[in-house]
Structure 1
Amino acid sequence: MPPMSPPALGVIANPVSARDIRRVVAHAGNLQISERVNILIRVLQAARAAGVERALLMPDRAGIHALLERHLRRGDTQLPCIELLDMEPTSTVEDTFTATRLLQRAGVAAIVVLGGDGTHRAVVRELVASAAAAASLPIAGLSTGTNNAFPEMREPTITGLAAGLYATGRLDAGEALVRNKLIEVSILNGRRTPRRDIAIVDAVVTRDRTVGARALWKPQSLAAAYFAFAEPEAIGLSSIGGLLEPVGRHERGGLSVQLATDARHALLHLNAPIAPGLVCPVAVASWERMVAGEPLAVGVEAGSVALDGERELTFAPGDRVTMTLREDAFHTLDVKRCMAAAARDGLLRTRLSTP
């Protein structure tokens, strides 16, 4: 991808990630606005050191921009020029959708995302709506959410350096980017327009027919789970798949798990860490690998679908629900490989002149 002149980096920082009910029931901590701003500053300082001159930032009403402005008034010269996107924040997920669209139009080289699985899903959902954008515009994720199966736990400075090196054209896309999978959810009813959505980690079917508090943390109502990837060291619902049959985030295939309503129909009970500090027994009936492009029909008559841990869709008797694994759906920045290339090629070295 040719770099912009001057190079531009997009930033979407969710000010309210990690504030759902799982933080209460599982005794997990809350990331305060001041710490989110500190993370953002470290990302931007590192990106500037790598050559990024402009950063386009999603505005918010919760205090990230206000605290960043206070920091800028102190005269920090180590940051790129920061421009707010021209949008009116609503303090809902619509802010992330709108910001992603605006960053695409602005032609940024990459988007750094600060948030949890839900924030990253919202960005990806907008990207895959435009096939061209999904093929060319990568995201670099930083974990500031609750379960965080998708974004990596990494020092923001390193992510900022990698994103900056890529945005300035010093890293080739073939080496810097990696392709990712997702689960496509389709709900069909002959009387209504089909509903479709995506999950970038897991789509979990529950027997609850209401969205409720949205965040899913009780295993009793779970009916089935479909995983784009499932790692055994993960926290959250994806740990169910990861502890049954691990599937790497970049290997082919996914995993489908059917859950039992009672002990009579269970093949085994699995103690899974479904939220921070919350390890619960889950009754497993069966599981099988998913093949990309092959829809799997959901056998539950009515209920809801949680996308990456949050209930988003409901379905009723007569609806046909299918889950389809899509491979090579969007790109992320491979920070580890970027930094290895930077070391190999001396991208962060400055040769001193000899006297």
Structure 2
Amino acid sequence: MASPVLGVIANPVSARDIRRVVAHAGNLQISERVNILVRVLQAARAAGVERALLMPDRAGLHTLLDRQLKRGDTELPAIELLDLQPSSTVEDTFAATRLLQRAGVAAIVVLGGDGTHRAVVRELVAGRDARNAPLPIAGLSTGTNNAFPEMREPTITGLAAGLYATGRIAAAEALLPNKLIEVSVLDGARPPRRDIAIVDAVVTQDRTVGARALWKPQSLCAAYFAFAEPEAIGLSAIGGLLQPVGRREPGGLSVQLAPDARDALLHLNAPIAPGLVCPVAVASWQRMVAGEPLTVRAEAGSVALDGERELMFAPGERVTMTLREDAFHTLDVRRCMAAAARDGLLATRFPTP
């Protein structure tokens, strides 16, 4: 039987977009990212994981990790780098996800913000094979806006991922289904352009990319949420403070914003970035039903996926937003650790004298 393998994608440059400058977001140094990574891997090894496949990088993350290995740390799994030449762009995450799928890892631990997790999920959804078990992700928050990944001690996430990877917790108990927003741009003459958002897809009439991250609510004209929690930070806070929609709750939320504040139904003070609470002019909102596409009203502009502008559309092109349920899976760390306690998965019992 092959030894369990865990995949790891750690974005060395998450939390370095413009929102860190205009707001008061933190910025994890490489040394702290390595500490997080070591804690994940040590815990996964304690749970029985013998090998880990890591995405290489050019920012120094693996160099510092390698120093840890050279000190003879035997509490880590055998670590192998994926065979790819890093470019320090999102293409690294896309390529690493594809390689981890082909390598047959049991799960992928992701260190990053909403954008990094979206990139991983995009490739998992595109490469999904119905014949195989779903490949889940376990997310750790190291980005600017972190509506999707959980704020959790990396040791606990590593333990849960290790217990699942070694087969001691069944998928039916360990995994949770997640929603996403599918964005389609159609012009009639060419095949549609498609992408996804795992939290929110936000439309702005600004057709220039400029800074990829959105942080000025005055430029927004509509927002579509797979889920929206009132305690979230980022653009999804708009939906969360209007009409909360849970991650596991059916349906999503569509919000139309008013270009002229005088036409708004209400003004909402939303925390759209760390330390940045801005008034947002809301015109209307409605629930989204899974599988029913909604047409974007703007004639031209751009679509930001989980906070970053990714898709441009011109006059004559039609943009639709469709909620997809049960689209990908995440590791339920809480339930995994509850199962570990219930079944004694981390206990060693000694014979009674």
After TM superposition, the score normalised by the length of structure 2 is 0.98
Letter of the structure 2 residue corresponding to residue 258 of structure 1: Q
**1:246 paired residue among 244, 247, 257:** 244
Question: In the alignment, does 2:264 pair up with 1:283?
Answer: no
Check the 8 A contact 1:254/1:325 in 2, yes or no. Answer: yes
Alignment correspondent of 2:257: 259
Q: Residue 331 of structure 1: CA displacement?
A: 0.3
Alignment correspondent of 1:187: 185
Offset of 1:5 from its aligned partner? 1.7
CA distance in 2 between partners of 1:237 and 1:112 (Å): 25
CA distance in 2, matches of 1:106, 1:131: 14
Q: Aligned partners of 2:188 and 2:90: how far apart in 1? A: 29
Describe the superposition over 1:262-304 as per-residue Cα deviations: whole angstroms up to 9, x where unpaired.
1332000000000000000000000000000000000001110
CA deviation map 1:124-163 (0-9, x unaligned): 0001002327961000000000010000000000000000
Higher alpha-carbon deviation: 188-197 or 127-136:
127-136
Whether 1:119 aligns to 2:116 is yes
Match of 1:12 among 9, 13, 21: 9
Aligned length: 352
Give the alignment partner of residue 141 of structure 2, picking from 140, 143, 149.
143
* Structure 1: runs of 5 or more not aligned: none
Residue 48 of structure 2 aligns with an amino acid whose one-letter code is G
Residue 52 of structure 2: aligned partner:
55
Q: Are the aligned partners of 1:257 and 1:287 in contact in 2 as well (CA < 8 Å)? A: yes
CA contact (8 A) 2:169 2:336 kept: yes
**Letter paired with 2:100:** L
1:251, 1:42 → 2: CA distance? 32
RMSD: 1.0
1:99-118 Cα distance to aligned partner (Å, 9 max, x none): 00000000000000000000
Question: Which residue of 2 is the match for residue 130 of structure 1?
Answer: 127
Residue 35 of structure 2 is matched in structure 1 by 38
CA distance in 2, matches of 1:215, 1:124: 19
Is the 8 Å Cα contact of residues 135 and 331 (structure 1) preserved in structure 2?
Answer: no
SS of corresponding position for 1:184: strand
Aligned to 1:66: 63
AA in 2 matched with 1:302: A
Match of 2:107 in 1: 110
Amino acid at match of 2:20: R
CA distance in 1, matches of 2:287, 2:98: 34
Aligned residue for 1:193, secondary structure, equals coil
What percentage of residue pairs aligned between the two structures are identical? 87
Q: How does 1:1-355 map to 2 (within 5 A)?
A: 5-132=2-129, 136-355=134-353
- Counterpart CA distance in 1 for 2:133 and 2:260 is 44
Distance 1:264 1:75 in 2: 65
- Partner AA of 1:305 in structure 2: V
Q: How far does the alpha carbon of each residue in 1:26-53 deviate from its partner, in whole angstroms, 9 at most, with x for none?
A: 0222100000000000000000000000
Q: Is the 8 A contact 1:50 1:165 kept in 2?
A: yes
CA contact (8 A) 1:211 1:313 kept: no
Q: Is the 8 A contact 2:7 2:105 kept in 1?
A: yes
Q: How far did 1:54 drift? A: 0.4
Deviations 1:59-118 (A, max 9, x none): 101011000001111111100000111111111100000000000000000000000000
Amino acid at match of 2:188: G
Partner SS state of residue 192, structure 2: strand
**Residues 237 and 270 in structure 2, CA contact (< 8 A), matched pair in contact too:** yes
For structure 1, which segment, 230-239 or 184-193, has the greater mean C-alpha deviation from structure 2 after superposition? 184-193
Q: Cα deviations across residues 146-185 of structure 1 (Å, max 9, x unaligned)? A: 0100000000000000000000000010000000000000
Amino acid at match of 1:30: N
> How far did residue 195 of structure 1 move?
0.6
How far apart in 2 are the matches of 1:212 and 1:239? 23
Q: TM-score, normalised by structure 1?
A: 0.98
Looking at structure 1, the residues matched to 2 and 245 of structure 2 have their Cα atoms a distance apart, in angstroms, of: 40
- 1:192 is paired with a residue whose SS is coil
Alpha-carbon shift at residue 212 of structure 1 (Å): 1.0
Displacement after TM superposition at 1:192 (Å): 3.0
Q: Secondary structure of the equivalent of 2:191?
A: strand
